[in-house]
Chains A and B, each alone.
Chain A
Amino acid sequence: MLTTGTAKRTTLIMAALVAGTTTLSGCGSSSASSSSKVLTLWHYEAADSAMGLAWSQAIKDFSAAHPGVTVKVENKTFEQLQKTAPMVLNSSTAPDILEYNKGDATAGLLSKQGLLTDLTPQVAKYGWDKKLSPNIAVTSRYSNGVMGSGDWYGIPDYAEYAMVYYNVDLFNKYHVPVPKTFADFTAAMDTFVHNGVTPLADAGAEYPAQQYLYDLALTKADPAWVTGYQISGKGDFHGAAWTYAANTLADWVKKGYIAKNSVSLKATDMGSAFESGKSPMMVSGSWWYGTFESEIKSFAWDTFLWPGSSLVPGSGGNLWVVPSKSGNKQLAYDFINTTLQKDVQDLIANKGAVPVAADPADVTDPKAKKLIQNYNALAASNGLAYYPDWPSPGFYDTLTAATQDLINGKNPDSVLGSLQTSYQQGLNQ
């Protein structure tokens, strides 16, 4: 009896093996389409986000203008592209055009290794530099992997910046006027604290807390300071701006402006705290705008710029880059141009994101109009100061840990000291 059972099982297993392996090797091959009739496009924006919708429109416009060309869109997950971009772009699986992160650690690194096509000739040909303000262009140009100057390697069609989202209903309930100066801002927060409400939603485990820190530092900074910190490697954590920022943040936690137990929260929790009406204010990027538009139904909300500062965290958005191994470079250039056209830019604006080259007059929704106007003013005055973790790769984790220490009551001077050490180390890599 054992004989037949085992023999049968063995045959079954062998059959399964053979079948399985053949199927696998058959359908497992990657398909890199370099046919001139198919443009392979990768991006990682949600389909119903402003960018997702705008880019669907761009694809429609592009297909109309290029009959016979199909656009093959692959929705990637951000995490996957982040980790595998260098490997993918170095292989035959590379797409023709893709969305990629701006910054030295990402686009800069790839440009240094020659994996991205130099777009400078196209910029001149299509006139893209006329649509992108210099502040935005900083993240598009890299020389030897450092942003700010050199050849063009990526083109953004949207931008982002940080602002204060506020709950209009809660402000009215406690008779708090919209702050125009920094003093107004702290007074408003005092009123909320007196009424037992935590004024600022925060998340210590991810980027929001360090952006508060950066916002505070920027109130004592100027564009030269930003360039020194971000690009020239001259950042000084013991300088006036950062010292003020660390001490003020610690102070704010003591005063209750920021909840101490926000230290372990993630960005989504911060969003939830605002959306559920728990905290009347949240300082973060324009990427929340669309989400709030679709999810907040229970109260009125609006935005204002961080009072008393001409600089805020912000930059050009993610870039369209063309891999050097792209098989359809001309089509890719045409597509980039399509995204910068008026109808796509207006669509971005109307869906609650910040387009790089739109006229506020074309925007219908008043909140969105304000969003674009604020952005244009900032871009014109070089008010976009990028993000605090950009100077070196991996600085993000150090900043997160340091901000958590600050919120948990550690001495600001020692925190600043460790930040300076990390900053120097990162630059020397």
Chain B
Amino acid sequence: MSVYTARLARSRPQGRRGRGYPVLAGFVLLALLMLAPFALVAMNALKTSADYAAHGPLAWPRSLSLDNLKTFWNLVDFSHVLLNSALISGAVAILAVLLSILNAYALGIGRVRGRTWIIVAFLIANLLPQEGLVYPLYYLAKQVGLYDTRTAVVIIFTVIQSAFGTYLLSSVLGAFPREILEAARIDGAGTWRILWRVVVPVSRPTLMVLLTFFFIWTWNEFLLPLVFLVSNQNQTVPVALGVAQGEHIVDVTMQAASGLLGILPAVAFFLVFQRTLTRGVTVGAVK
């Protein structure tokens, strides 16, 4: 290697990164701006009520206090509430992904006739205002004896979330490389086996994305759990967070504390699943 190319080789990595630093700085600033409101929540969750009353929400806490966090935790039996939310969100995430796979397989790869209208029909589940469904679902659930049960909530959200999953997955599967399917078919695989041995593994990044979204969306759902899970033992996190909001008075530091406790699990879940999102399977490997 000539001296010239050697010098070029040494200087190139730094040169390549050099122009990237302002961009990185910009993004870091953006990230901080996105996080600023969370910092505010955390700050006020750790204040005492008197501190908040005297100095307002934007001042640093004069003294850090875990009182609000502890009070809220015990008041709603937060560990139990967390379990409810985790169970429901987890079940919905898994079941909705499965349902989406089944639907999208038929629509995206099978190209069933009238698939545009079928997708639109499924999407109805997602685009209906939830208020419109509350009273009918309440009545139906009562008839079946599922009112005030977590099972009812899981079933309902599986259908609602899978609408989006069906739509996204069938769009992506619509562009699935035909050669792979042909190859598998030539190997003698039937539709069922192709689904689980070929389509699912290749679609893993999208499936993981769906899983993450479904979990988070279900976690944050408010109206239907509010209506369906009335007994305290069945309540989910967003419903329990309302405890700081009284009829006339809002206990702001308690609300911040409850908000902080409500955010942490969903954040943790996202961070865990983030790594799976990055790993994923690339189409290149199949080639």
Contact = CB atoms under 8 A, between A and B. Distances in A.
B and A form one assembly: yes
Interface of A: 2-3, 5-7, 10, 13, 16-17, 20-21, 23-25, 27-31, 44-47, 74-80, 83-84, 87-88, 91, 93, 101, 207, 266-268, 271-272, 275-276, 285, 287-288, 291, 294-298, 318
A75 B75 contact: yes
A268 B246 CA distance: 11
Nearest to A297: B50
B230 A84 contact: yes
A2 B197 contact: yes
A21 B91 CA distance: 8
Contact of B231 (A31, A83, A318): A31
Q: Which 9 A-B pairs have the closest CB atoms?
A: A28-B149, A30-B148, A77-B242, A275-B53, A295-B53, A28-B150, A287-B248, A268-B250, A20-B91
Contact of A296 (B53, B151, B245): B53
A88 B151 CA distance: 18
Given A2-B201, A3-B197, A24-B154, A46 B149 contact: no
B148 A91 contact: yes
29 contacts: A2-B197, A2-B198, A6-B201, A13-B98, A20-B90, A25-B149, A25-B151, A28-B149, A28-B152, A28-B234, A30-B231, A44-B247, A45-B246, A75-B75, A75-B243, A76-B232, A77-B240, A79-B226, A80-B226, A80-B239, A84-B230, A91-B148, A272-B252, A276-B53, A285-B248, A288-B248, A291-B249, A295-B52, A298-B54
A45 B243 CA distance: 9
B171 to A, nearest CB: 23
B56 interface: yes
A133 B175 CA distance: 75
B226 A24 contact: no
Contacts of B150: 24, 27-28
Contacts of A21: 91, 151
B53 A16 contact: no
Given A2-B197, A24-B154, A30-B149, A91 B142 contact: yes
Interface class of chain B by DSSP = helix
Interface string B72-98: 000110000000000110110011001
B216 interface: no
A387 B56 CA distance: 29
B240 A276 contact: no
Contacts of A46: 246, 249, 251
B149 A29 contact: yes
B55 interface: yes
A78 B94 contact: no
A77 B243 contact: yes
Nearest to A206: B248
A3 B95 CA distance: 22
B49 interface: yes
Contact of B49 (A5, A44, A78, A295): A295
B95 A30 contact: no
Contacts of A44: 246-247
Contact of B151 (A7, A24, A276, A287): A24
Contacts of B232: 74-76
B200 interface: yes
A318 B248 CA distance: 12
Contacts of B249: 46, 267-268, 271, 287-288, 291
B250 A83 contact: no
Contacts of A287: 247-249
